Structure 1
């Protein structure tokens, strides 16, 4: 019976998704088109949560800092006025470099907060956001001199709240074209997400992956076995931060616009909720959980406003349900996880 407990959450949300689709009365092509876009924009964020869970650190809410690294890189590239392929490649390089530095800092801090990593990572996410806002609202235009004045607001201090990234949206245009539902796009970003998923899957079967699992199971025994526990834990956070930065780059590229101050907000909660919907726990997560979760969670996320409109004649209820869905999923998953532990 315990074998089937891991399917409680996915089955529950599958049923809710089916009910939501029926109530929303939307076409299959609309849902498939939205899922295509959301798979590209959000898939890598779920993958970013897997390494810290493997290492026994729970949900890494500081992936927002990884997203901030990507946004800093994009601001620099847009400020330089670089176009398409060259600009996006530079954004990837800068994003990864920023993420490596920030990931090492976060990993060091979380190693000082053993047993309380999830709370600590949440606080780090908030702190990182505020430092980032201070730099780009006040520092840019004063301490940091921009290459182009067009990136600044009219006062000359602070970056505009939205920057045009449309030049990168057409990056894959005409390359492996596909049509999913009512959306025309490219197979390239889908393959990119799948390749990163394959890389994370390979990580779980590598030497580092086995060390992460060992540390996640028992840190004391891992130390006795000669594993550098702190180093493994830090490596998982660095990988998580780098993956999150790549995920945010894909999000910006797909949207064609950079929301400088709000683009990274809430992605940690929604990503955690989606991963848990896929059947992951606070101690065990896989690539399969990530891909199942993004399909189930975002299907319900897509149809909930229209279902609320049709059921209660009030679309606002559907919008509120989205927030309830994200936070409620995490609470529900916590309860199920605690029940599993008590039965073990």
Structure 2
């Protein structure tokens, strides 16, 4: 006879599983009235920001499915996208055509870097997250070497607007005016005064369908099996290392496309630092949505992006109105961007401990009966 859980156990289990989003919902509910922002303003900002960042955050789902944790190496894909955008600007291709050309140019680079990243992470099983973070720093150095010294010297750059005055190296900030919001405005739509980037949401929706469909394919089932137990998967005939590499390649390529979508919305390319925080912010948003390092879903992505950006929007003004200084809110949201990752990992460890305790209590109840 199995032990039955009471209402107290069910409520406790719910709060343990959803501790991070609950904390942020409480904070945001407290901060929105203090910030003084109107409903239409917050709605418009959220519609834009969710379309801007969701693709990037969705790129983290597949490695988690494969048991590799959060892929901080997604910055490799972001760097590939930025190099492709620089090349497209140099060629003078504008609008949505330039956007899709950048995706096409970036894809081989992202595949190669994803394959390299997957090989490295297979040598660091159990330590994938910290290894992928270090790998991102390493590749960032190579990326900066390429854009600072090789472009204009070894790689021909003919557009003088892109190049530093010394004749080689790319400028610190590049205007993307020729492709700014080219995808967002491809299918214009306004509802109650709120501008909705329909084409961007269509692409995000297609990616969601792809992830859902992919999870039902043999490769998707193999990734889930590998994520649950690599030893059993190997014994079952699944090529574990190949499956893990494919998960990282897909994540890197999707992150590359996500960075291009992000940049066309922003309209400015920060050449040397633009990709550095991509993984941190995407990971924070995913964890705020209730995901963990072993389980993530599409609803976690959208809940996290909404809560993350609501916090980013309201905290500076709430800090100014409450404390007399907007910097209080700025400090808080920067702290949260990094702190939420540590908080989520700590809560995940705590949740695992509670689950073991529940399992032991259940086992004792079974033996007693």
Structures share a fold, TM > 0.5?
yes
| Distance 1:132-1:311 versus aligned 2 partners, 3 A rule | same
Kept in 2: contact 1:56–1:216 (CA 8 A): yes
Worse overlay, 167-176 or 319-328: 167-176
Secondary structure of 1:169's aligned partner: coil
Alignment partners' CA distance in 2, 1:170 and 1:188:
11
Match of 2:333 in 1: 322
For the pair 1:111 / 2:122, whether they are aligned, the reply is yes
The alignment covers a number of residue pairs equal to: 344
Aligned to 1:29: 40
Alpha-carbon distance in structure 2 between the residues aligned to 1:338 and 1:229: 26
Q: CA RMSD in A?
A: 1.6
SS where residue 300 of structure 1 aligns? helix
**Unaligned runs of at least 5 residues, structure 2:** 1-9, 356-369
Of 88, 113, 119, 1:77 maps to 88
2:160 equivalent to 1:149: yes
Partner of 2:3: none
- 1:13-52 to 2 correspondence within 5 Å? 13-52=24-63
Mapped to 2, the partners of 1:177 and 1:191 lie a distance apart of 12
Verify the 8 A CA contact 1:56 1:217 in the aligned structure 2.
yes
**Aligned 8 A contact 1:54 1:212 in 2:** yes
What TM-score results when the alignment is normalised by the length of structure 2?
A: 0.89
Matching residue of 2:258 = 247
Check the 8 A contact 2:184/2:200 in 1, yes or no.
Answer: no
Tell whether the 8 Å contact from 1:172 to 1:188 is kept in structure 2 after alignment: yes
Q: CA 1:122–1:172 in structure 2 vs 1: closer, same or farther (change >3 Å)?
A: closer
Alignment of 1:203-282 (within 5 A): 203-282=214-293
Q: CA deviation at 1:179?
A: 3.3
C-alpha deviation, 1:176, in angstroms: 3.2
User: Deviation of residue 143 (structure 1)?
Assistant: 2.0
The normalised TM-score by structure 1 is: 0.96
State whether residues 208 and 298 of structure 2, in contact with CA within 8 Å, keep that contact through their aligned partners in structure 1: yes
Query: Does residue 290 of the first structure (1) align with residue 322 of the second (2)?
Result: no
**Residues 181 and 257 of structure 1, relative CA distance in 2, 3 Å threshold:** farther
Q: Which residue of 1 aligns with 2:5?
A: none
Distance 1:271 1:81, change over 3 A: same
